[in-house]
A and B are shown apart, each in its own frame.
Chain A
Amino acid sequence: MHLTCPLWVRRIPKIYRNNDPFYLRNLYLQFSFLFRGRSSRCFRLAEQRVIKAFQHMNAMRAVRKDRFKQLCDERIDAACAQHGIPGKMLIDGLGRMNIQLNRKMLQQLAIYEPYSFKSLTDLVKQYHSELGIVPPNAEPPAPVVTRGLLQSPIVPGNRKFYE
């Protein structure tokens, strides 16, 4: 079976079961070298902890994605709140304008490129004001020249109408 290098490291081959017990035990102990106390030195303790650690690793994969998404949402919400719009409005508005920025990039912009993030919020406010929706507690945005392109953007499908 073809596996990448990191997965080869984590694989416990069945062939070790028929050979000298040293090989299998050494493999478990290699995985447990960072554990605390005798679980990192004694096989009979390490075996249990390593199996549990594998289970944790498996379970955490989906959880990690969810937690990261929550963190991004929180950060976007906080950054948008400073400019007077809810975070969901930003994500929805950008999606409707066909601006393809995902949550990860938006939170990076909010932290490291705050003025770019502000311009994105201004764009979303402009989009909504053109539709007649006014976000509450929002300052009026800096004037954004749109020429109607926010409502009907040029996408590959309708490019021929603009030629």
Chain B
Amino acid sequence: RQMLPRVFLSQPLQNGVSRYTCQLKRITLKFCKFRPNSLGAREFIENGDFLEFARANPQVACYLKPRRNRPPVLQAEFANGSVQLARIDSFPAEFVRRWFWLMRGRSGDDLLPLHENLRSFHPSVQGVWTPFTFGRSVGLGDLSDSRHRPMSPSATELIQQLHRLQSARMS
């Protein structure tokens, strides 16, 4: 709780409720042309998977950035301005492909622990349970046992007092 606060699942501007816009805006694959830990990234490019991703997602600007003597990294920039980095050091090409498509589905919000994995503004179809759902079979307690006493008697109590006095006088 202190280290990482829990959040409720949410989308920026309720993305997906009525229309969906891809939140990923730019994706950059930084890799080395020679070092072995970039092999997966290089294979991903050479097998045509990178072009396939770029063609399938015209809304995303895809960049390749060869950098000498550096480990490979995937940098994704989102509509809310956040940047996420995925280290793909020594990953097989298939894993690199999966990271690409994972970033495509993300909203850019920080990855924080969730209270629940689901969220709905209308969680109940039949109506949320109340003590009155199945009649008053749930004991609500006799209110006359309550320690709370209001200052003045209620109208019902006044009438009951009058009735008691009257029946006492009558008898």
Contacts and interface: CB of A to CB of B under 8 A. Distances in A.
Interface of A: 2, 5-6, 8-10, 31, 34-35, 50, 53-54, 57, 79, 82-83, 110-116, 118
Interface in B14-58: none
B111 A114 contact: no
B113 interface: yes
A82 to B, nearest CB: 6
Main secondary structure of the interface of A (DSSP, over half): helix
B75 interface: no
Contact of A113 (B91, B125, B138): B125
Contact of B84 (A5, A111, A114): A5
Contacts of B137: 82
A50 B125 CA distance: 44
Contact of A31 (B3, B86, B112): B3
Nearest to B112: A6
B2 A35 contact: yes
B126 interface: yes
B128 interface: yes
A53 B134 CA distance: 45
A34 B5 CA distance: 9
Contact of B123 (A2, A34, A35, A112): A112
A51 to B, nearest CB: 11
A21 B94 CA distance: 39
Interface string B92-128: 0000000000000000000111000000000111111
Nearest to B95: A2
B129 A112 contact: yes
B133 interface: yes
Interface string B52-91: 0000000000000000000000000000000010110001
A30 B100 CA distance: 28
